[in-house]
Structure 1
Amino acid sequence: MGRSDELRAFEELLDSLAAGRPCHLLVVGDAGIGKTVLLQAAAAAARARGVSVLEVTGVPGERALPGATLWLLASRLEAVGVESEAIEELRAVSARASAGPPLLRALAVAAAMSPVLLVADDVHWWDPLSVAALQFAARRLAVDPVAVLAAGRPQVLEDRGFAAVPRLEVGPVPRDLAGELARSVAPETVESVARGLWSRLGGNTLAVVETAARLTPDEQRGTAPVPEDLPVGPGVVTRWASEVDTLPERSRLALAVLAVVSADETLGAALSAAGVDAEDLLPAEAGGLVRLDALRWQFRHPLVRPAVLAAEPPATVRRAHAAAADALVGLATTPHLVLRRARHRAAAALGPEASLARDLTAEAELLARLGAHGAAADAYDLAAAADPDPASAAERLARAAAHALEDFDDDSAVRLGRAGLAHSPEPRVRGSLLRITGAALGRVQNATEGRHLLTRSLDLLEGPERAEAARDLLFTLDLTTEPEARVRALVDELGPADLLAPVDRLLLAHTVFHVDPGAEARLTLEQALLAVDDDEAVASGRTVETLMNAAFCLGLEVSAPRLRRAVVTLSSSGDPRRRLEGLGIDQMLAFWDGRWRHLLDMVEETRELTEAIGRVDLYSDGLELQVLARRALAAEFAPVLARARTLMSAAGMDYWAAALPGEEAMLALAEGRTERAIELVSSELDHLPAHTSAHAVHADHLVTLTEALADAGRVGDAAEVRERLRLMLGASPSALGEGFLARTAAAVAEDAEVADLLGEAEGFLEVGMHVFELAMTRLRLARWLRRHRRRREAAERLELALAAFEHLECRTWADQCRAELRAVGVDVTRHDRYDTRAQLTAQERRVVDVVGAGATNDEAARQLFLSPRTVEAHLTHVYRKLGVRGRTELARLATAHDGPSSRTLVRNP
């Protein structure tokens, strides 16, 4: 009634679905405005078209239960014939961040049988894991015939990450329909009374209908005044609660059981455990509170559920929870059901009780053995709440926080750790809580506070846990600013290297190399890097940073093969978090070896994934800045720089934040503003300690400053900067470091030595696979050669540098190469062989890379978190855009696209 625009929007959505153009729609509006009725109408229209409809409604009491809504969705998918393997994979999800891929695959399987409409009602009450999975899957169902029609309250949905989904605002019904609306339930309602109700109730459909139905006949006819206490907002719930009060006692208990049990398969057992049965729901059905739909009992409206729970005394609600827990005895074999039973048992308790705390701890231990760390954290949290002893409650919170940390849920680890600390635990437990909280803060949130808490934990811990605290502290420390004595003391705390896990052994080796970067330490670091096998790489949350630190020290010539194996292992995982770790390593490799277009594609994917799983991306901005600076893209550079500063400051990443002026300097240099570049890098240098690290994050900036100063005639200042660089790189630098040292030596050397030193730098950088720095070295060498009339040699270097700059899309540097080539008698006509690849979208380029490497459509779908149908659609578009006829040609293109562009070189006579 009065919803023609909304119904038209649903018809358009179904038309798109029938045409193979999946689309999603978010129906937003206040409680009681009519969203549920509209969704029911859309579902009926879809069924009439032969569409499979999956209806799932959020439950307020289960918002804190990870995966609760997904469990219901799995039942709906099973009912439409989705294969058991896909259903079991979805039901087996226990980690908070890994539900998206199995839901994506299950929906793709359902869509292969018939078009699917997923009707998701009350999404504001869905648990976060289910919401993240829904968003993850919806974004990747690009061509599969799946449409998502979700509904919820406006502000809540904006807070939960739905801002980008097309919205259909459901407002009040038109005022001129108020009479018709009221008379649908109270036929004697006159127009003036109906319009008065509409005005006083803000046009809320549910409130108007429910209020009109409760007016006396005289009030409906206008012969008696309408009461002042009209139900507005929560008042509607109160009205339903009054209806519950009129039911028989057994019916009220049965309603309470239905209110706390959302899993259809356990409702019958729960009713039986409470001493009632399904027949006791019949009076509630007659009263319009519930309905039996396809053999499933459902509340007539989502607001009836809280009305039932509000109407019943706490004892009845606890009895319903106890029955729900009893119904799961023998069935709680999966992490989801074990945690559900634990929650029901906790809700059934009269208060803190030692025996209940022990039982809930047993549930938590079972979840831990099943590897469901997120669920185990929740169960330990419940056990702590049930524990009357503050000391043992603090210990249970410490276990909860430890499992949350293991689950990569840093926010929960911090929350649980701080809750445990508030219990004033005994020193050992306090030390554990400080360590866990500090490790979580140091990982992605606030490194400064994390380091502070970890330092405090060392004073309270002993034995293996003290070694863990030392390891976590070393992992979060800024080694460039720490006194050497303190770093050595922490290294000693770790114990013998051969007793450490491979990743921790690598951390130790990197730390030792930082303190004393000699040949022996370098060899130890190389051995430690090779010892980190693929399984360890996938299992550790410290993989990316630890491997990258080793790579910075050793250089690509040593670390690249190991890093690329790690990328393959992590990227092929079905877990988006592992995919993120693989992207982190691959982004670094891509910057160094010149795959910048691929790097920017990965930056886009990384941001999408981090948003989907609630992580913080601290590295992509820095890498994107490096590319934008060298390409002289000032307009794009500015917003990324601002975002990077904010993120790094919030996370306490002072060392990395200190490199940002250097990236501004690289932009200024590319734009020809040499004095500004000198000013910026000089300010960066002022904030660096005399001995920093073997990291290359600042080293290229110091090379830039040395050369700029020397070119400006300030050779003495340049020599001082070069000495800082030599101290930074240590006694055993990588090929990149050796190249930088040779290049800066050339900047301050006598003229006769320059060519030999730059040639030496060229050789080192070629081995080190650093495309941009190699091209810059060749450009400087070519300029020297041209000035000394060695034109043929200059032309050879310039041709190589030009090819690299064109490939990297560094137009200003490429233009300088062309100018130099013209000066030595060579004109250049540029022909990019792979410009057609630039027509591809970022997702299409990712598909090209994966399929071109030999993956099947199914393998590519799993690796990229897409459906096979979406991969096939992308390939169809790619073939058309690139003019290739099959996978063989595509594989050749994928292999070749990162090579230099072809050019015609014309010698001037």
Structure 2
Amino acid sequence: DPDAALAHRAALATGPDPGLATEYRRRADDHVRAGRWGAAGDALLTAARLTDDPDRRLEWTTSGIDALIGAGRISEAGALTRGLDRVRPDPHRDSVLALLALHRGHATEADTLLGLAARTTPTRPDDRVDLARKMVVHALCGWRPDEIARWTSEVVDAAGTGSTSPAAAEARAVAMLGSAISAPGAPGPPPPPVDPADPVAQRFEMAAGWIALAGDDLETARVRLEAAIPTTEVTGSARISLWSQAWLARTLLLRGEWDDALRVVDTAARRIDELELDLLAPVVHWTGAVIRAMRGDRLGAATHTRHLTTRPDAYPVQILPSAMARMQVAAANGEHSGARRAAEPILALATRLDVDQPGFWPWHELYAHALVLDGRTAGAEELITPVERRAREIGHRSTLARLGAVRARILNARGDVEGAERLFRDSLDHLEGLGMPFHSARVHLARGQALRRSGRRREAHLALGAARDLYEQLGATVYVDRCDRERRAGGVDVARTVGPVGLTPQERAVADLVAAGRTNAQTAEALFLSVKTVQYHLTRIYARLGLRGRTELALYVERTAGAD
């Protein structure tokens, strides 16, 4: 075992040993070629300790820290940076510190350090390639596909067209993603032939899985992402594994395999905490927050939301899932005004970045739905129209389904009931065969709410029943209750005369929510009614029952619970 042999000799060293330092440096190269990033970092740091050349010590220490970051050992790498010389200009040091800031989620700091490295005269032949490799990752996290293409070309050109070096391989994997972001649905560059046993294959599997997820191919996404997850103590990259787990959890959520999704989320979340890899916390906790909120686990959802960030110096790949998670948690809690507020960081991003690629960040439906409930149908239509156009051009079915359901709500709010019904059916047709019960349930619920509001109670009852069945399979108890409440309010299979407690089904639904502490606006949102309609119902309820306010109504509802 060459590593064990070197370790014994290093343990015997009582001072500098240039010869042994050189052997360690060569061994580090072997580890890099084999993708053993952690072992490479350990070897470089030992070489730095054994050398008597101060310039080599700085170079090897910096390279060792770089390798530890590549392995995902962020907290360990961060502790070691305190010993770096910060006085002399050094582009290699600055680019490594930038990579550390990147994985900690500090976009502004990373951008400043990368800019400093780019302006400094390189001191090593590989400095320019090293900087370009880090720029590729920086561009991906910054959601700038044009920059991904620019820096990928620089890495590949410098390394050679046929190079199989880890730097060139990672750049090509990110280039696949950049092409998919720039032109969703278009055939991107095929991945180069890579031996599945080759450590760089992990990067291509992750990229291919993410692209398949964005393209609605959930089965391929699951297979490719699962293949990218395994690592050992010495091979593979923990950060690539965590990227894969984040997108696998999202894939499982859409497939309706929520228990498995939560297991992936909880495993990845623990690893992120151990490594202090803050960059990936939002995309992992996004899925956990959504599932636990929809299952009525408010405490569990809050645990996930504590790891979300929309601070100004965060990367878009942190801000987008964080804002979407908060939007979906607010919607699950019936707080659609909260969903609108949660979208503000995305709206700010959208003024300077293209975040409308179908399949990648599906935020438009959430925000547009909240706008419709607020009566702002024109704003909702303006938001979804360009995204619908892009989805139609590439045939992105899940986007067409989700936004079609929003447009159907808009038509229904404007009184075009038949047009709305036609769009709801089109949306369900788009989802046919995709294996996305999560999206199907949302469309059925939206359709049922719209039909009930239009007075078509029997059809609404059936649509809400379909939504309820799907939500029940997912364990989404919050939405099961919502479907039940909508069906009771519709009054189908319930006597249409005033019941033994003196209220019609619709009035009883209003009374239950108000008695539970909901405001008129929140009650209106939950029942897909206008605030004026809720006020009208409350006036009739108080007059009919001789009640003098919400407190007496709450006591009345508690006393008569189950009577109807």
Name the residue aligned to 1:507: 174
Structure 1 residue 694 corresponds to structure 2 residue 362: no
Whether contact under 8 Å (2:210, 2:221) holds in the other structure is no
1:694 alignment partner AA: Q
1:628 and 2:301 correspond: no
The CA distance in 1 between the partners of 2:184 and 2:227, in whole Å, is 31
Residue correspondence of structure 1 range 26-37 to structure 2 within 5 A: none
- 1:806 corresponds in structure 2 to 472
Query: Aligned equivalents of 1:510 and 1:560: distance in 2?
Result: 18
The answer to whether the 8 Å contact 1:374/1:404 transfers is yes
Name the structure 1 match of 2:463: 797
What does residue range 115-194 of structure 1 map to in structure 2 within 5 Å? none
Offset at residue 806 of structure 1 (A): 0.9
CA distance in 1, matches of 2:26, 2:331: 59
Work out whether residues 549 and 695 of structure 1, in 8 Å CA contact, stay in contact via their aligned partners in 2.
no
1:395 counterpart (59, 64, 88)? 59
Q: Which amino acid aligns with 1:641?
A: T
* Partner Cα distance (1:818, 1:670) in 2: 15
Shift of 1:339: 1.9
Question: TM-score scaled by structure 2?
Answer: 0.69
Q: Deviations over 1:846-889 (max 9, x none)?
A: xxxxxxxxxxxxxxxxxxxxxxxxxxxxxxxxxxxxxxxxxxxx
- 1:758-808 deviation per Cα after TM superposition (whole angstroms, max 9, x unaligned): 222222234443322221111122334456676665455333311111122
User: Secondary structure at the residue paired with 2:442?
Assistant: helix
Higher relative contact order (CA 8 A, sep 6+): 2
1:782 maps to 448
Change (3 A) 1:444 1:532: farther
Q: 2:48 aligns with which of 379, 384, 399?
A: 384
1:595 aligns with 2:257: yes
| TM superposition shift of 1:692 | 1.8
Alpha-carbon contact 2:149-2:175 (below 8 Å) kept: no
Residues 598-649 of structure 1 deviation map (CA, whole Å, 9 limit, x = unaligned) = 222333333444556676561432221122333343343334322334xx75
* Contact 1:678-1:705 at 8 Å conserved across structures: yes
Structure 2 residue aligned with 1:672 = 334
Task: Provide the rounded CA distance (Å) in 2 between the counterparts of 1:392 and 1:721.
Answer: 56
Residue 342 of structure 1 is matched in structure 2 by 10
Number of the residue aligned with 2:378: 716
Inter-CA distance 729–549: structure 2 relative to 1 (3 Å threshold): farther
Match of 1:469 in 2: 131
Instruction: Specify the SS of the correspondent of 1:699.
Output: coil
Code of the aligned partner of 1:589: T
1:594–1:775 Cα change, 3 Å: same
CA offset digits 1:719-760 (Å, max 9, x no partner): 222246458869536332222332233233444321222222
C-alpha distance in 1, partners of 2:62/2:336?
55
Mapping of residues 93-492 of structure 1, within 5 Å: 333-345=1-13, 348-349=14-15, 356-366=17-27, 368-369=29-30, 374-414=38-78, 419=83, 421-422=85-86, 424=88, 430-444=90-104, 446-459=106-119, 460=121, 466-477=128-139, 482=144, 486=147, 488-492=149-153
- Paired residues, what number? 472
Once the two structures are superposed, residues 143-163 of structure 1 have per-residue CA deviations (whole angstroms, 9 ceiling, x without a partner) of: xxxxxxxxxxxxxxxxxxxxx
| Residue 737 of structure 1 pairs with residue 399 of structure 2 | yes
- Preserved contact between residue 401 and residue 436 of structure 1 (Cα < 8 Å): yes
Instruction: Give the counterpart letter for 2:174 in structure 1.
Output: L
Give 3-state SS (helix, strand or coil) of 2:343's partner. Answer: helix
Q: 1:787 to 1:564 in 2, by over 3 A?
A: same
Quote how far apart the aligned CAs of 1:547 are: 4.6
Which residues of structure 2 form unaligned runs of 5+?
A: 495-564
**How far is 1:584 from its partner?**
3.3
Measure, in 2, the Cα distance between the counterparts of 1:506 and 1:784.
44
The CA distance in 2 between the partners of 1:579 and 1:360, in whole Å, is 32
1:33-48 → structure 2 map (5 Å cutoff): none
Indicate conservation of the 8 Å contact 2:448/2:461, yes or no: yes
Q: Distance in 2 between matches of 1:611 and 1:476?
A: 22
Contact 2:471–2:480 (CA<8 Å) still a contact in 1?
A: yes
Q: Decide whether the 8 Å contact of 1:630 with 1:670 is kept in 2.
A: yes
SS at match of 2:482: helix
Shift of 1:467: 4.3
Q: Distance in 1 between matches of 2:6 and 2:469?
A: 61
Secondary structure, aligned partner of 1:643: coil
Deviations 1:379-399 (A, max 9, x none): 433443454443333333344
- Determine the C-alpha separation between the residues in 2 that align with 1:683 and 1:605: 28
Q: 2:47, 2:232 → 1: CA distance?
A: 33
Given that residues 25 and 43 in structure 2 are in contact (C-alpha distance below 8 angstroms), is that contact kept between their aligned partners in structure 1?
Answer: yes
Rounded Cα–Cα distance in structure 2 between residues aligned with 1:405 and 1:668: 36
Task: Evaluate the alpha carbon distance shift between residue 767 and residue 681 of structure 1 in structure 2; reply closer, same or farther with a 3 A threshold.
Answer: farther
* Residues 568 and 815 of structure 1: CA distance in aligned 2, closer, same or farther (over 3 Å): same
| Distance in structure 2 (CA, Å) of the matches to 1:423 and 1:711 | 57
Q: How big is the shift at 1:457?
A: 3.3
- Rate the CA distance shift 1:715–1:572 in 2: closer, same or farther, 3 A: same
**Deviation at residue 567 of structure 1 after TM alignment:** 0.6
2:220 paired residue among 561, 573, 588: 561
Matched, 1:816 2:482: yes
* C-alpha contact 2:417 2:454 (8 A) present in aligned 1: no
Give me the whole-angstrom Cα distance separating, in 1, the residues matched to 2:421 and 2:112. Answer: 50
SS at match of 1:477: helix
Decide whether aligned partners of structure 1 residues 401 and 604 sit closer, same or farther in structure 2, where only a CA change above 3 A counts: closer
* Counterparts of 1:498 and 1:562, CA distance in 2: 28
Q: 8 Å contact 1:474–1:490 — kept in the other structure?
A: yes
Matched letter for residue 761 of structure 1 = S
Structure 1 distance, partners of 2:231, 2:370, is 44
Which structure dedicates a bigger proportion of its chain to strand?
1
Flag the 1:431–1:661 CA change in 2: closer, same or farther, 3 A: closer
Residue-by-residue CA offset, 1:666-688 (whole Å, 9 max, x unaligned): 33333333334334335642443
> Contact between 2:209 and 2:225, CA under 8 Å: does it hold in 1?
no
